[in-house]
């Protein structure tokens, strides 16, 4: 059975040769593609070009997701933002889901640029940034790449790259208040992927919110080790519930399994990324949600006005919380008491006007070490919070 395959190889060789010939004949197809959409025109014409443009020159925006669009989690939150964008005039969107953080995402970006004519890309997974977005951004300087994660470094990264992220731990703090006022056992549970700074910050804020209204409330954490581990997440949920936890929340790509497990076992839950209310009509309290709709509309507005065109100065690193419209809460579920709603709304108002600070002294970590002295305050924008490597007092768990 060895020899015959050779003839099928020659078939492939033909395809290969054909392709080689076709580029030789047509000239470099890549350079054709990149000159065709005439970026120079939009540069010189500036702002009015896009606004007054007919439908045929609509801005094509590409959205790339690392998982399924309907995951009740990280990707759904972005896809909801994309959907809102697609309703804007003069905008056409292209979406691709389940794109791994490999050469595949580079190919998807190039394909959106070359085959779909995309001028603005939102590759949404954190892991797309380095090296994939950076590589493509250098290759296609006329396309704008906006990445979720806040990794942009001035002077080091290409000028056509921007990065945005939200202080979603504010919403976790508010969720913690609701959870702290709903729990009977005073035991809260948190199922998380990896002990990285972003995740630790959410856990800590959740516990600090709960403790602010219920000083005896503790949060038990289980790390599953990866972003999408449905079986482990379900096991962790059941084990926490067996230990007496009566409010569960999660920071994984899709909290679906955790929320469903909580509902099945008859306890409460708070959501993350997107709304999981439909999965747990009885026990869903509220949730920390991204508000990408508002962020994406803001960006596309800027692009259509020509504010982010090549050569112009624009803000490459954008962050925000409630105040800037980056995050929102799921509507309160039925079990949430009036008192809890009132205190949660008050906290939210505190974030809106800047009077509420989550990280302030005196604060100890859960091994008894002092983190902040009595007069220390660390507002949300404090860069020190971005490298958090501790769990605060009241959290049961270990940062490895």
Partner 1 sequence: MSAGLGARLEPIVIPLCALVATLAVFGGFVALGGHDPLEVYYQMYRGAFGSWFSFKNTLLRASPLMLTALCTALPARLGLVIIGGEGALVMGGLASAVVGIALDGGSPFVVIAAMALAGFAVGGIWIALAGIMRIYRGVNETISSLLLTYIGIALLNHFVEGPLKDPASLNKPSTRHLADAYMLGPMPGLEVHWGLAFGVIACVVFWVLMMRTTFGFSASVVGGNLRAAKLAGLNVARLTIIACFLGGGAAGLAGMVEVSAVQGCANASLVAGYGYAGILVAFLARQNPIAVIPVALLLGGINASGGLLQRVFDLPDATVSVLQGILFIMILASESLYGKIPLFRPRAKAAEAAPKKLAEAV
Contacts with partner 1, residue ranges (CB under 8 A):
1-9, 11-12, 15-16, 19-20, 22-23, 28-30, 33, 68, 94-104, 107-108, 110-112, 114-116, 126-127, 130-131, 149, 194-198, 225-226, 386-387, 400
Cβ atoms of 154 and 311 within 8 Å: the answer is no
Please tell me the distance from the alpha carbon of residue 249 to that of residue 191, in angstroms, as a whole number: 6
Q: Whose Cβ is closer to partner 1: residue 176's or residue 195's?
A: 195
Distance of CA 273 to the CA centre of its chain: 7
Please tell me the distance from the alpha carbon of residue 109 to that of residue 118, in angstroms, as a whole number: 9
Q: Taking the complex as a whole, how short is the minimal distance between the CB of residue 201 and partner 1, in angstroms?
A: 10
Question: What kind and span of H or E run contains 212?
Answer: helix 197-213
- Select from 205, 212, 204, 221 the least CA-distant residue to 181: 212
Please tell me the distance from the alpha carbon of residue 355 to that of residue 377, in angstroms, as a whole number: 12
Q: Taking the complex as a whole, how short is the minimal distance between the CB of residue 104 and partner 1, in angstroms?
A: 7
Q: Whose Cβ is closer to partner 1: residue 47's or residue 151's?
A: 151
Q: Strand pairing of 284-290 and 327-329?
A: antiparallel
Q: Which residues contact 38 (CB under 8 A, 6 or more apart)?
A: none
Q: Taking the complex as a whole, how short is the minimal distance between the CB of residue 305 and partner 1, in angstroms?
A: 26
Q: Taking the complex as a whole, how short is the minimal distance between the CB of residue 80 and partner 1, in angstroms?
A: 16
Q: Taking the complex as a whole, how short is the minimal distance between the CB of residue 284 and partner 1, in angstroms?
A: 27
Please tell me the distance from the alpha carbon of residue 31 to that of residue 138, in angstroms, as a whole number: 15
Q: Whose Cβ is closer to partner 1: residue 149's or residue 350's?
A: 149
Q: Taking the complex as a whole, how short is the minimal distance between the CB of residue 91 and partner 1, in angstroms?
A: 15
Peptide bond preceding 362 in cis form (omega within 30 of 0): yes
Q: Taking the complex as a whole, how short is the minimal distance between the CB of residue 130 and partner 1, in angstroms?
A: 8
Q: Which residues contact 146 (CB under 8 A, 6 or more apart)?
A: 120, 121, 122, 161, 162, 163, 164, 299
Which regions of 65-186 does DSSP assign to beta strands (E)?
91-96, 120-123, 144-148, 161-166
Q: Taking the complex as a whole, how short is the minimal distance between the CB of residue 283 and partner 1, in angstroms?
A: 30
Q: Whose Cβ is closer to partner 1: residue 216's or residue 386's?
A: 386
Q: Whose Cβ is closer to partner 1: residue 15's or residue 355's?
A: 15
Q: Whose Cβ is closer to partner 1: residue 296's or residue 332's?
A: 296
Q: Whose Cβ is closer to partner 1: residue 213's or residue 399's?
A: 399
Strand pairing partners for 62?
Answer: 94, 121
Q: Whose Cβ is closer to partner 1: residue 137's or residue 277's?
A: 137
Q: Taking the complex as a whole, how short is the minimal distance between the CB of residue 55 and partner 1, in angstroms?
A: 18
Please tell me the distance from the alpha carbon of residue 67 to that of residue 127, in angstroms, as a whole number: 12
Q: Strand pairing of 377-378 and 359-360?
A: antiparallel
Q: Whose Cβ is closer to partner 1: residue 15's or residue 56's?
A: 15
Cβ atoms of 293 and 84 within 8 Å: the answer is yes
């Amino acid at each position: 059975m060895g020899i015959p395959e050779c003839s099928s190889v020659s078939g492939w060789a033909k395809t290969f040769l054909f392709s080689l010939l076709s580029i030789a004949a047509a000239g470099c197809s890549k350079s054709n593609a990149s000159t065709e959409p005439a970026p120079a025109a939009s540069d010189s014409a500036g702002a009015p070009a896009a606004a007054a443009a007919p439908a045929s020159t609509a801005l094509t925006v590409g959205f790339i997701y690392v998982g399924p669009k309907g995951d009740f989690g990280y990707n759904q939150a972005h896809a909801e933002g994309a959907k809102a964008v697609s309703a804007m005039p003069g905008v056409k969107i292209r979406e691709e889901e389940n794109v791994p953080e490999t050469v595949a995402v580079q190919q998807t970006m190039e394909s959106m640029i070359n085959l779909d004519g995309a001028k603005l890309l939102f590759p949404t997974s954190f892991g797309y940034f380095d090296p994939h977005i950076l590589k493509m951004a250098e290759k296609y300087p006329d396309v704008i790449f906006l990445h979720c994660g806040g990794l942009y470094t001035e002077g080091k990264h290409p000028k056509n790259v921007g990065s945005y992220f939200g202080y979603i731990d504010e919403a976790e703090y508010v969720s913690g208040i609701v959870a702290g006022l709903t729990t009977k056992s005073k035991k809260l549970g948190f199922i998380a992927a990896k002990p990285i700074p972003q995740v630790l910050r959410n856990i800590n804020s959740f516990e600090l919110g709960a403790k602010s209204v219920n000083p005896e409330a503790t949060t038990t954490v289980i790390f599953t080790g990866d972003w999408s581990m449905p079986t482990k997440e379900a096991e962790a949920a059941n084990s926490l519930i067996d230990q007496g936890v009566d409010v569960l929340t999660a920071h994984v790509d899709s909290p679906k399994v955790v929320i469903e497990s909580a509902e099945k076992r008859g306890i409460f839950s708070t959501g993350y990324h997107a709304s999981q209310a439909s999965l747990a009509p009885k026990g869903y309290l509220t949730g920390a949600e991204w508000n990408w709709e508002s962020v994406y509309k803001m960006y596309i507005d800027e692009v259509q006005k020509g504010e982010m065109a090549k050569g112009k100065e624009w803000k490459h690193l954008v962050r925000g919380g409630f105040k800037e419209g980056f995050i929102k809460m799921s509507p309160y579920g039925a079990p949430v008491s009036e008192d809890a709603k009132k205190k949660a709304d008050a906290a939210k108002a505190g974030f809106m006007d800047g009077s509420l600070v989550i990280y302030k002294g005196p604060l100890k970590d859960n091994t008894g070490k002092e983190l902040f002295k009595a007069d220390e305050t660390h507002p949300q924008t404090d860069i020190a919070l971005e490298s958090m490597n501790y769990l605060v007092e009241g959290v049961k768990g270990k940062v490895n």
